[in-house]
Amino acid sequence: MRRAGAIAAFALLAAALGAAAAPVPEPSDWGEPASSAAPARPTAPAALPALPAPRPAAAAAAAAPAPRTASSAFASARAGASASGDYFHDFAELIVRVRSVKWIEEICSEAFPATAELSEHAYDDWIMDHGKFVDEMEGQFDIIDRYWQDASPDLKKAGISTDALKRRVEAQRAGLRDDFHATSAAAFQRRCEAYPEILLSPQLDLEKSQADFVRSVRAGPR
């Protein structure tokens, strides 16, 4: 019975990830901060060059919402995503949201090398504040591995393993990258320029902003 349950759980995980689990919640689709006017950019650390003040025309453009493009498969999977109470479904959603924070830094640093150091520093600051939570979520793979081993030692022969699950999770990065590249070059750059500021927003305190998912995952597989 435990083996059948494990197979069903893996199928549920695969379905959630195959449908491109939802990434970090917006705000404003990782474009501009969700306010009517662009707030002052946080002061860059002394070791990093401060971003130049935008020209009036650029400032006006930055204050405007990023233009919407046709939804990618990754973006369309965001709509209506909510915790189901099922550990495996909710973990699939939550781990992609957690990893998307780093993926976005990598995508932006690759596309805009001039601001890569600032993006990397912003992520380093974020992980210092939230690293314990990230480690807890990444540690769920060990919990799942033990759960499946207890269910049946033969599951790996059926292709059910945490290694396979990790590959499915990591495959979501390509969908997020496509989502960024599907926008105009200007919108792409605005989204990346907003990255350091958005990491400071309450939405990116994922332990709190994704509380329903977190509660479900902490309850463990059953």
Domain ranges within the chain, ordered by starting residue = 2-25+73-218
Q: Which of 53-57, 70-74, 89-93, 168-172 has the lowest mean pLDDT?
A: 53-57
Backbone angles phi, psi at 81, to 5 degrees: -65, 125
pLDDT of residue 120: 97
Give the CB-side neighbour count of residue 58, counting CA atoms within 13 A. 8
**Which amino acid, residue 108?**
C
Q: Which residues contact 64 (CB under 8 A, 6 or more apart)?
A: 32
pTM, rounded to two decimals: 0.67
pLDDT above 60: residue 30: no
Q: Are 216 and 61 in contact (CB under 8 A)?
A: no
What whole-number distance in Å separates Cα of residue 49 and Cα of residue 41? 13
- Mind listing the pLDDT tens digit for each residue in 32-44? 333 333 333 333 3
